[in-house]
Amino acid sequence: MFPFQRSQVRSICQLLESPPEHIIAIFGPRQVGKTTMVRQALAQTRLPGRYLAVDEPDYPPPGLEYDPSQTDVRKPQERDTDWLVRQWHFARLEAERSAQGFVLALDEIQKLPDWSSAVKGLWDADRARGCPLRVVLLGSAPLLMQSGLNESLAGRFLPIPVTHWSYEEVSQAFGLSLDEYCFFGGYPGAAPLTGDPEQWRDYILGAIVAPAIERDLLAMTRIDKPALLRRLLEVGSSYSGQIVAYNKIMGHLQDAGNTTTLARYLYLLSRVGLLAGLPNYHKSRHRRRASRPKFNVLNTAVMTAASGYSFHEARNDRSFWGRIVESSAGAHLFNTATSDTRVHYWRDGNDEVDFVLERGPRVVAIEVKSGAKALLTRGMDEFRRRYNPHKTLRVGGEGIPLDEFLSEPAGRWIESDE
């Protein structure tokens, strides 16, 4: 029996069972289960295969006749495309020997220099000779992964984006309650640690947040002011659920530079699944880009681990708990929104709506409440008057139950006519 499986596992299996017409590209933030998903798919498919992590030593696969001295145990930063070509060659031999073909899964592929050009050449050569080799590429630096895929491998890959776990997934896999999910977030590796707050906090900050900054951003993207990036994450996470002008944020930062730099760094933080800045909804796209951002962590663990609050302290602080609940809702919308769906907030003067979903002509306004009653708000009424949205939703209290809302993707609320 397999442990809990995310829905993408079935999709990966189906693609592996089909003729190898495209590379399968799996990318997303750190510690969301990408490697586990691929291993589960490899274990269930009828095809033989091999999983290789670029940042781990590899050993001779069983049954291949080659000199064991060729085993590559160099450090990841010392590996080059020669290593990739050699591993691909071994997998190609297996694919041609097997009646079903073969699967080569390469994890952390973005750590190889010029990996996308090398993969393009190898993949095109396989297509020309009709080699039945299936290839799966994984990476935890979404920005770099997508850049390489789009620049060199356009038309050759099928993307499977993987993001943070929903409440339904965490509840089924680990039995966390709704309140526990809102506070502890959706990192599967951290779920077993919730009984030990210090160990849980160290895991979130040391094993997830720090590597996402050091390895996925600073090591692979040009960052002129790394201290500013780190501080922006710290300050932005503490303001999650709030609308804050960049000028105010600058007051909390040393050597803050300009708003263009902050906006770029905030964008990069969103691409590694840590922190987003939602724009104010407006018909004019220029007005949206110029608006003050509403900070929203993309996994509430990033917010709560750095807050110093215990679970019970947070639960008893109505103001802080309200921001946790609202941040949970915003993170869920952002994480599950498809590429053609935009997530905003709306505020004009004293009138405000927590979230606005937009897909083509459809606009959905969403208000989130953490208390027992979801009171009517003047902001929602004013938004309805000005923009005539497709529908309005109230989450929490007497509206849509929060657990139901956090278990359905954003598309569910924008597509239905309920």
The predicted model gives 95-114 an average pLDDT of: 91
Residue 402 burial class via C-beta count within 10 angstroms: exposed 0-12, middle 13-18, buried 19 and up: buried
Cα–Cα distance measured from residue 328 to residue 366, given in angstroms and rounded to the nearest whole number: 13
Displacement of CA 401 from its chain's centroid (Å): 24
Quick check: 300 pLDDT over 80? Answer: yes
The predicted model gives 65-89 an average pLDDT of: 67
| Percent of the chain clearing pLDDT 90 (strictly above) | 67
- pTM exceeds 0.85: yes
Report phi then psi at 386, rounded to 5.
Answer: -80, -40
Cβ neighbors of 368 (< 8 A, separation 6 or more) are: 325, 326, 329, 354, 355, 395, 396, 402
The segment(s) of the chain belonging to CATH 3.40.50.300 are 8-161
Quick check: 67 pLDDT over 60? Answer: no
CB 302 within 8 A of CB 207: no
Taking the C-alpha atoms of 228, 231, 232 and 238 in order, what is their torsion angle to the nearest 10 degrees? Answer: -170
Quick check: 207 pLDDT over 60? Answer: yes
Buried b (16+ CB within 10 A) or exposed e, 175-195: ebebebbbbbbbbbebbebbe
Token reading at 300: 């509430």
Please identify, in words, the CATH class of the domain defined by 8-161: alpha beta
| Mean pLDDT value across the chain | 88
**What is the Cβ-side half-sphere exposure of residue 147, based on CA atoms within 13 angstroms?**
12
Q: Given pLDDT bands bounded at 50, 70 and 90, which one contains residue 377?
A: confident
The predicted model gives 194-220 an average pLDDT of: 92
Pick from 86-100, 141-155, 382-396: least confident: 141-155
Q: Given pLDDT bands bounded at 50, 70 and 90, which one contains residue 65?
A: very low
**Of the candidates 281, 293, 291, the residue with the CA atom closest to the CA atom of residue 241:** 293
Quick check: 375 pLDDT over 60? Answer: no
Neighbours of 260 (CB within 10 A): 9
Higher pLDDT, 66 or 32: 32
**Of the candidates 338, 321, 31, 357, the residue with the CA atom closest to the CA atom of residue 178:** 321
| Strands 102-107 vs 49-53: parallel, antiparallel or unpaired | parallel
Q: Given pLDDT bands bounded at 50, 70 and 90, which one contains residue 58?
A: low
Q: Given pLDDT bands bounded at 50, 70 and 90, which one contains residue 413?
A: very high
Token reading at 174: 């680990």
The model's pLDDT over 386-400, given as tens digits with 9 standing for 90+, comes to 999 999 999 998 899
Higher pLDDT, 68 or 227: 227
The model's pLDDT over 107-148, given as tens digits with 9 standing for 90+, comes to 988 888 888 899 999 999 999 999 999 999 998 766 666 666
